[in-house]
Amino acid sequence: MQKKKSEKKAKKSTKSIKAKGLGDTVEQVLEATGIAKIAKWALGEDCGCDERKEKLNKLFPYHKSECLNEDEFVYLDGYYTESNNVVKPEVQSKMVKIYNRIFRQKVQLTSCSSCYKNTIHDKLKKVYIEYKK
């Protein structure tokens, strides 16, 4: 009898933990629907769920971004209103610094133009457009 109470408390405490990313959300849904129990029964205790959960949390984290400060907004305004076919290293450095602060990331400078465009440039542009509204 005591064991069931402690198990219920443990389950209750894991449900009250705020999801850090998509992996936590998927885990909560699978537990709520009973699919997690079936997976553990069919695949055993080490079914790989924890690894998948961590990978999904890393790929799709839930985090609130920081607000742009005035200097950053002015810089982004100048950057996005000019046509930038080539991004100089000092410009990329400034953009990476803004990106890392706002999104709480540790992105490094890159020589890969598509990596820069798909991460830093496009995500900061979305933030900038929201501020323009």
pTM: 0.56
Q: What is the DSSP letter of 25?
A: H
Check residue 79 and give its pLDDT. 92
Check residue 13 and give its pLDDT. 46
With helix as H, strand as E and coil as C, how does 30-66 read? Answer: HHHHCHHHHHHHHHCCCCCHHHHHHHHHHHCECCCCC
Report the C-alpha gap between 89 and 74 in whole angstroms. 19
Give me the chain's average pLDDT, please.
82
Tell me the domain boundaries of the chain.
Answer: 2-59, 70-132
Half-sphere exposure of 52 (CA within 13 A, CB side): 9
Longest CA pairwise span in the chain (Å): 70
Q: Is the pLDDT of residue 44 over 90?
A: no
Sequence-distant (6+) residues with CB within 8 A of 93 are 109
Q: Tell me the mean pLDDT in the region 102-131.
A: 88
Which is higher by pLDDT, 4 or 124?
Answer: 124
Residue 132, both tokens: 């323009």
Check residue 16 and give its pLDDT. 56
Check residue 58 and give its pLDDT. 80
Report the C-alpha gap between 92 and 120 in whole angstroms. 9
Check residue 15 and give its pLDDT. 52
The phi and psi torsions of 12 (rounded to 5 degrees) equal -65, -40
- Which helix or strand (DSSP H or E) is residue 91 part of? helix 89-103
